[in-house]
Structure 1
Amino acid sequence: MKRNVLGVLVDATRHDNALDAVLAAARERRPFGVTALAVHGVMTGVLDREHGARLNSFDLVTPDGQPVRWALNLLHRAALTEPVCGPDLTLHVLQAAADEGIPVYLYGSTRQTLDLLMLNLQNRLPALKIAGHEPSKFRMTRPGEDVEIADRIAGSGARIVLVGLGCPRQEVFVHAMRPLLPMPLLAVGAAFDFHAGNLRRPPVWMRKAGLEWLWRLGAEPRRLWRRYLLLNPHYLALLAAQWTRLRPLSPPAPVTDRPTVFPA
């Protein structure tokens, strides 16, 4: 069930519910847009109302990280005991896909990362069927290229697409491609890098304490310092304002218009 977190609609869901929803869409061959939003993802929707409306059109938005889970519990008494993080959801979906023989498509990141990812997945999940893979083009699509990408994915026989383009590019991509593909598309953030071995996840105690951002900041300070040192306090201030009702934050209406040119 969707709940308002700073104007972004996040689902108060658990891993098993999220997995069931993805698998149901894959079995029924219907469009289904999914993303896992941490603080940075939520704040992209807060600071850009157009993007916020885009996020609010997703079928499933999971709380990625403790601060978003805490917000759901604080504001809406969701009683969630754990977040539903992109890397974890990715692994759950891939394990289930392997068990059921559902082919998957990997879109995004670099060729080198995809090669490492596929090697690790084949070692960990030998029954997994990878129908196709395609690295990011690191540019905007050309007019008509969206149909070409959709044709390649559909023609591969895939029934689930994992998209690793980084926030917010991946959400723009999923939103644009959703009407073209009869299958779930999951924006999974840095999951490709984690499962390829390019990045290490923090210890469990740091994740439980909501300090994953500190671990990521220490690993990539030059790239991430603005995201965490500026956005995190802003998030907390807005969260306090919503909690005390000093600043009502109404969600922008979901958008259904699909862009024909978008990051790929």
Structure 2
Amino acid sequence: MTTGTTQDRVDVLGIHVSVTDMDHTVGTFARWIDAGERHLVCVSDMNALLHARADGELTKVYNTSGMTLPDGMPLVWAGKKAGFDRMERVCGPDLIERVMAESEQHGWSQYFYGGADGVAEQLRDTFTARHPGLKVAGVYSPPYRALSEAEDAEIVDKLNAAKPDIIWIGLGAPKQERWMAEHRDRLDAAILIGVGAAFDFHTGRLDRAPEWMQKAGLEWSYRLYKEPKRLWRRYVLGIPRFGVGILRQPPRPVA
């Protein structure tokens, strides 16, 4: 696995978040694919960051990734507070749509791994309908149970045989980050990227907040309204934890 980059990062509660925007992110992907480099990419919102900082192994995954993208306005605001005015939000659903368009032009092939039964197939059909020239090397939704070593090896062989440039992983954080770290050295694809709920947004299983709420950093409130029983703890407890943490440990550039 190729780890680390020369790009700027900002330390947000001990997690090194990439200073980037959508254009820079997609341009970086293009350079990696052209150069034959192999990286994993974490797409981090506030909740994922809080999970990562509480686990030393996850912190290592985020901090040695090819990129750890700021999927959430609180991370962008933290970056700007540290002096990185050019930092912008790069959220999973928007990134996957942008990369599909770029992939159609450049000939990059995709593999969709994760989601409930039928989700990966629907995602493939959705994007190939929008982008007729898009190459999708394969799809697979693994079972929720733990896999045996033989089953895992079979999946690795399946993914490598398909020869995708990018593998999109929709297992949810932090499961997808652990999976990427465990498999990065065994997979040939240039990019492994965990995008969590983006699979469900693009297949209509989840609704996105209005654009004005996304830009105002209020997308969390829309998701909480839609799924209060599942998400109340994440936001009611997570937002104060994040805010207090930032006050105690202000964001700063990573040396």
**TM-score normalised over the length of structure 1:** 0.88
In structure 1, the residue matched to 2:181 is 175
Indicate which of 45, 49, 62 corresponds to 1:38.
Answer: 45
The CA distance in 2 between the partners of 1:46 and 1:4, in whole Å, is: 11
Aligned residues between the structures = 246
Are 2:124 and 2:139, in contact at CA under 8 Å, matched by a contact in 1? Answer: no
Structure 1 residues 222 and 154, CA gap change in structure 2 (3 angstroms)? same
Secondary structure at 1:238's aligned position in 2? helix
The CA distance in 1 between the partners of 2:251 and 2:200, in whole Å, is: 38
RMSD: 1.9
Say whether 1:25 aligns with 2:32.
Answer: yes
2:130 maps to amino acid: R
The CA distance in 2 between the partners of 1:144 and 1:84, in whole Å, is: 36
Say whether 1:67 aligns with 2:74.
Answer: yes
The CA distance in 2 between the partners of 1:145 and 1:11, in whole Å, is: 34
Structure 1 residues 244 and 175, CA gap change in structure 2 (3 angstroms)? closer
1:27 deviates by 2.6
The CA distance in 2 between the partners of 1:211 and 1:186, in whole Å, is: 25
Structure 1: segments with no counterpart, 5+ residues: 252-264
Identity of aligned residues (%): 35
In structure 2, the residue matched to 1:211 is 218
Indicate which of 106, 118, 127 corresponds to 2:124.
Answer: 118
Are 2:19 and 2:87, in contact at CA under 8 Å, matched by a contact in 1? Answer: no
Are 2:22 and 2:95, in contact at CA under 8 Å, matched by a contact in 1? Answer: yes
The CA distance in 2 between the partners of 1:59 and 1:81, in whole Å, is: 17
Are 1:22 and 1:32, in contact at CA under 8 Å, matched by a contact in 2? Answer: no
Are 2:73 and 2:217, in contact at CA under 8 Å, matched by a contact in 1? Answer: yes
Cα-to-partner distance string for 1:81-104 (whole Å, 9 max, x where unaligned): 630111111111111111111111
**TM-score normalised over the length of structure 2:** 0.91
1:218 deviates by 0.9
Structure 2: segments with no counterpart, 5+ residues: 1-7
The CA distance in 2 between the partners of 1:244 and 1:116, in whole Å, is: 40
Structure 1 residues 95 and 244, CA gap change in structure 2 (3 angstroms)? closer
In structure 1, the residue matched to 2:3 is none
The CA distance in 2 between the partners of 1:77 and 1:181, in whole Å, is: 37
In structure 2, the residue matched to 1:255 is none
In structure 1, the residue matched to 2:147 is 141
The CA distance in 1 between the partners of 2:139 and 2:248, in whole Å, is: 43
Structure 1 residues 244 and 3, CA gap change in structure 2 (3 angstroms)? closer
Secondary structure at 1:22's aligned position in 2? helix
The CA distance in 1 between the partners of 2:157 and 2:57, in whole Å, is: 28
Secondary structure at 2:229's aligned position in 1? helix
| Segment drifting more, 187-196 vs 81-90 | 81-90
The CA distance in 1 between the partners of 2:157 and 2:111, in whole Å, is: 12
In structure 2, the residue matched to 1:48 is 55
